[in-house]
Each structure stands twice: as C-alpha cells, then as structure tokens.
A = this chain, B = another copy of it.
Amino acid sequence: MLHQKLSTHISCGDCAIRHRAVCARCDADELAQLEAVKFYRSYPAGAPVVWSGEQMDFVASVVTGIAALTQTMEDGRRQMVGLLLPSDFVGRPGRSHAAYDVTATTDLVMCCFRKKPFEALIEKTPHLAHRLLEMTLDELDAAREWMLLLGRKTAREKIASFLCILARREAALHMKSVGQAITIELPLTREELADYLGLTLETVSRQISALRREGVLDLVGKRGISVPDFDALQDIAGDDGDGDMLS
C-alpha cells in the first residue's frame, strides 16, 4: 500500500469504461448506488496491488493501465494467470482474501468498490449480477484457451499467439483495414511475457529474434513490434484462425 495514491473522483457518466465494465448495464439509479461506494486508487508501474492470501476489502474495475494476476510456488516459479485490461474486473464477491498476487504492470488506475456494499448491490440489482456473470464466463473461456496454449503449444506458437491477440486488439481499436502492417507496443517485459507464456525469458527473447530474422516481425525499439503480415503470424500461432470476437 506504500505507493498507492488517491485520484480525483470521476463521475460514472464520464467514465471511459462505462459501457464495458461490470457497471455496463446499470441504469442511472443503480449507477448512483455504485457511485456512493466507489473510490479510485492508482498505482505506479511495478507496484503490488494485493498479495495472494492478503485480506482484500474491495473489488474493482481497471480504468486505465494493465494489471497482472500471478501465482507463485514456494520455490519461486511463477505463472501469470490473467492479464487485466481496462474494464476488466478484479476480486471475487463472497471471498475475503485475494487468491492471486495482483500487480500493476503499467501505471494503473482502478475504480474500487467497498466489498460489503458491492455484494449487497449484487443481491439487489440483477443488471450488475448478470454483467458480472457474463464477464466471468468470458474470463473462463479465455483461461481455457490459455490452458491449450500452456499445455500444448511450442514456444514459437506461444509467442505468435500472444502477439496475435495483441495485434487483433490493436486492429479492432484503430479500425485498421486488414492487410496493412499493425504496430503494437508490448505491455510486458520479456520476463513477464515468459511468466505469462510458461517459458523462460531467454526463450522468449530467442523466439522473438527468430521471428524478426524470418521477417514475420519488425522490432521498433525494445517494446515496439510491427507485424507486416498478420496472416503469416496467425499461421504460426496454430490457432483455428476463426479469431471470433465474443459478442
């Protein structure tokens, strides 16, 4: 809690994630109730949000920045089990202690709700409960897709799969037409990427270098990556290629 800062209060109506977060389906009245129990917190890149096992008296939505959920074994082996982007939900209603380490991987702003009143709201407002169910089901699907990646894909396929996801997201955001080069900024260090993909940082670095050598990628500085041919990357990823966006 050392580096935590309190931000100014933003009205829900003006919030950038208003239509995608857990509050997406709430009407004006429900929003007002949420607003009454909400507060903002921000964390600088690298700061811990909570440690696994620690008491957690709030749930939250990511407003800006990226947070990572990681599990750690006693001997230090780490596996990232989720990457939280703006509008994603953190915490579990009905549980008092955090199940994972949550860390800010970039500067992070979260919209937090005091847990007790939030749980009460869930009981009363179906809109909130339904949206949370929907988001949880989406996360479950994502987790299961990741299980395929972790259990069965090669290092090369893992890297390509991750870049595909980022590139697809980038393309969707900027409405780029398919076919032209997409440039993405990696939000993770090589080590974090390794923790996400179930690899070592050396293997991550080598595979990225290999893809660059083959012309599948261009590196722009350390963190920037340009993808000249998205389809080629997708082929390497070994996915079905249906790339279906969830409705």
Contacts and interface: CB of A to CB of B under 8 A. Distances in A.
A216 interface: no
A146 B148 contact: no
Contacts of A73: 148, 152, 238, 240
Interface residues of A, number: 40
Interface string A63-92: 000000101011101110110000000001
A143 B147 contact: yes
Given A126-B123, A150-B198, A145 B71 contact: yes
Interface string A98-140: 0110000000000000000000001100100110111011011
B152 A151 contact: no
Contacts of A141: 99
B130 A82 contact: no
Interface of A is mostly: helix
A221 interface: no
Best-surrounded residue of A69, A140, A147 (most CB of chain B within 10 A): A147
A100 B73 CA distance: 30
Contacts of A223: none
A151 B147 CA distance: 8
Contacts of A197: 151
Contact of A126 (B81, B99, B129, B238): B129
A92 B129 contact: no
A197 to B, nearest CB: 8
A144 interface: yes
Nearest to A122: B130
Given A79-B148, A136-B137, A143-B144, 5 more contacts: A123-B130, A139-B140, A140-B143, A143-B147, A147-B147
23 contacts: A71-B148, A73-B148, A73-B240, A75-B238, A78-B152, A79-B151, A79-B152, A81-B147, A82-B144, A99-B141, A100-B144, A123-B130, A126-B126, A129-B130, A136-B136, A136-B137, A136-B140, A143-B143, A143-B144, A143-B147, A146-B147, A147-B150, A150-B151
